[in-house]
Amino acid sequence: MTDDEIYREIFDAIVEGRLAPGAKLGQDDLGRVFGVSKTRIRPILYRLTDQKIVVIEPMRGAFVARPSIEEARAVNAARQIVEEGVIRAVTRKVQPRQLKILREIVAEEKRARGHGDNGRAHRLTGEFHRELARLTGNEVMVDLVSELVTRDSLVVSLYQRPAYAGCSLDGHGVLIDRIAAGDEDAAARAMRHHLQAVMDSLDLGDDRRKTQSLAAAFAHLHRA
C-alpha cells in the first residue's frame, strides 16, 4: 500500500467510528496491520494531527482525538456560521447536474443505512456537506468545511445518542429541496435547523464509547 492509501484507511476508520475517540494508535501495531515499518506510519500520524483527529502525546504516543464538551459546542457553532454562507452561495448558482450529485450521495447513505453499514453512512453524511462546499467553487471554503466536518464526526461518534443515528437523511433531503427552490433565506434556515438538530442529538453527559481493536478496525484489508 502507498502512504496515501494507508492515510485514507486510518482516516476512514476514525471518521466511520471503527476507531473511537481515545483509541491508541501504536506505530508498531499499525505497521503490522498494514505490513509496513513504523517509520512509514509516523509521518502519516502527523498528517492526521493536522486535521485535529489524532493527537500525539509526548512519552505516550498517538491517539484518536477525544473532543471535549466545549469543543463539541464550538465546532457545531462554527459549522452553523460557515455552512449558512455555503448554502446561500450554492443556492444562488446551483445547476441541475449538481443537485443530482447531492441526491446521489443521499441515496447512497440511505442504502448504507439499509444494509446496516452505519460507518459508511456516517462518512457519506460528511461527504454531503463537503460536496456542498465544493459547489461554491471556493477551495479555501472546501478545506474549512472539510476540517469542521471531520472534527464533528468525532463528536458524533463520541456523544450521539444511538436512537438518532441516521437522522441526517431527512435533513439532507430538506436542504436539497430548499436549494432547488432557489429560496436562499429558506435554505439558510434549513441549514441552521439541520445542524442544530445534530447538536440536539448529542448526549454531552455520555462519553463512554468502546473502540474496536486495530485488527478488527482494519479486518476488511485481510478478507479474501
User: Does residue 4 surpass a pLDDT of 60?
Assistant: yes
Give the mean pLDDT of 175-181.
97
Question: pLDDT tens, 6-17?
Answer: 999 999 888 888
Q: Structure pTM?
A: 0.81
pLDDT given at position 119: 81
Which class is 69-200 in CATH?
mainly alpha
- Assigned C-alpha cell, 19: 476507531
User: Does residue 209 surpass a pLDDT of 60?
Assistant: no
pLDDT band at 219 (very low <50, low <70, confident <90, very high): confident
pLDDT band at 210 (very low <50, low <70, confident <90, very high): low
- Do 63 and 26 meet the contact criterion of CB atoms below 8 Å apart? no
Q: List the domain boundaries for the chain.
A: 3-66+209-222, 69-200
DSSP 68-136: -HHHHHHHHHHHHHHHHHHHHHHHHH--HHHHHHHHHHHHHHHHHHHTT-HHHHHHHHHHHHHHHHHTT
pLDDT given at position 170: 82
Question: pLDDT tens, 55-105?
Answer: 999 889 999 999 999 999 999 999 999 999 999 999 999 999 999 999 999
Give the mean pLDDT of 25-41.
92
Helix axes of 27-34 and 3-15: crossing angle, nearest 10 degrees: 110
More confidently predicted of 29 and 170: 29
Q: Which fold has domain 3-66+209-222?
A: Arc Repressor Mutant, subunit A (1.10.10)
